[in-house]
Amino acid sequence: MPEAEKAGMVHGVFTRVASKYDIMNDLMSGGVHRLWKDAMMDWLAPRPGQKLLDVAGGTGDVAFRFLNRAPAATATVLDMTESMLIEGRKRAEAEKMAELLEWVVGDAMALPFPDNTFDVYTISFGIRNVVRIQDALKEAFRVLRPGGRLMVLEFSRIPNDLLQKVYDLYSFNVIPVMGQVVAGDRDSYQYLVESIRKFPDQETFAGMIRAAGFEQVSYRNLTMGVAALHSGWKL
Ligand SMILES: C[S@@+](CC[C@H](N)C(=O)[O-])C[C@H]1O[C@@H](n2cnc3c(N)ncnc32)[C@H](O)[C@@H]1O
C-alpha cells in the first residue's frame, strides 16, 4: 500500500473508533491491556520530575499511568489523530490532571520538538501503525536527552506455532465481529488484526531499535509473546 494511503487509512480508522476506543480495548483484550501497560510502568519505573513524551498516545493511558507514579512529572501526548486526543483531554479533566499534560497533534516520523528534550519516550500499540518505523525510532533518539530511555509496547510473536494458531483464530474471527457489534465498524478492526501480523518479531524489532542508535536494548514478552516490551537507552 502506498505510504500516503496507509497514513490516511490509519488516521481514518482512529478517527472512527476514537469514542469507542477505550471500551473496545477492554473488550478485545479482556482487560489485559491494562496489565501490560502496568508492566510497562513497572519496568520503566517513572521518577519524580521526569518529562515524558508519549507518542501515538491516543487517549492517554500511558501518560496517566506515568503521572500517577511520578510526582511532579509532566507528560506530552502526541498523536496524529485529533479525535483520540480529544477523548484523552476529557479524561484528563475528569481526573483533575489537565495541568500536567500537553496534547499535541503531530507525526511520529517528524516530531515537532527540539533535540535532547525528553527524559522518557514511550509508544504503546502505536508503532506498528507508523508508515516508516525506522524514521520514528530515529526521531525518538533525537528528541531524547542523553541518558534518556525509550520504551515500546506492541503486539508481538508467540514463540509457539500451536498457540500462535489459536491466537490467530481468535483475533481474525472474533475481533472484527466485536468491532462490528460494539463500534459498528468491522473494517477498522480487520485492519488492526492484520497490522499485528505484519509487525516484526521481537529480535528483528530489537535490531531496528539498535540501528536507530539505542544501546542496552532488551525486551520482555508479555502473555507468552502476544505483546512485548522493548527498552533502549540513548547513552
Ligand atoms: C492503537 S492506538 C494506541 C493508543 C494508546 N497509545 C494506547 O496504548 O492505548 C494507536 C494510535 O497511533 C496513532 N498513530 C498512528 N500513526 C501515527 C503517527 N505516524 N504519528 C502519530 N500517531 C500515530 C493513531 O492515531 C492512534 O491513536
Sign of CA dihedral 206, 212, 217, 222: negative
Rounded Cα distance between 28 and 16, Å, is 17
pLDDT tens track for 155-167? 999 989 999 999 9
Pick from 171, 178, 218: nearest CA to 197: 171
Other CB atoms within 10 A of residue 122 CB: 29
Residue 77 CB–ligand 1 contact under 6 Å:
no
**In a 3-state reduction of DSSP, which class is residue 17?**
helix
E strands along the chain, which residues? Answer: 51-55, 74-79, 101-105, 118-124, 144-155, 215-222, 227-233
pLDDT tier for residue 6 given thresholds of 50, 70 and 90: confident
Rounded Cα distance between 218 and 43, Å, is 11
Residue 81 CB–ligand 1 contact under 6 Å:
yes
pLDDT tier for residue 76 given thresholds of 50, 70 and 90: very high
Number of the ligand 1 atom closest to the C-alpha atom of 131: 19
Which DSSP string do the residues of 125-181 spell out, in sequence order? Answer: S-GGG-SSHHHHHHHHHHHEEEEEEEEEEEE---S-HHHHHHHHHHHHHTHHHHHHH
Pair 133, 198: CB distance under 8 Å? no
Pocket test for ligand 1, best of 81, 89, 124 (most atoms within 8 A of CB): 81
**pTM for this structure?**
0.95
Residue 40 CB–ligand 1 contact under 6 Å:
no
Residue 120 CB–ligand 1 contact under 6 Å:
no
Rounded Cα distance between 104 and 112, Å, is 9
pLDDT tier for residue 109 given thresholds of 50, 70 and 90: very high
Cell numbers 527524559: residue: 119
pLDDT tens track for 143-156? 999 999 999 999 99
* Amino acid found at 57: G
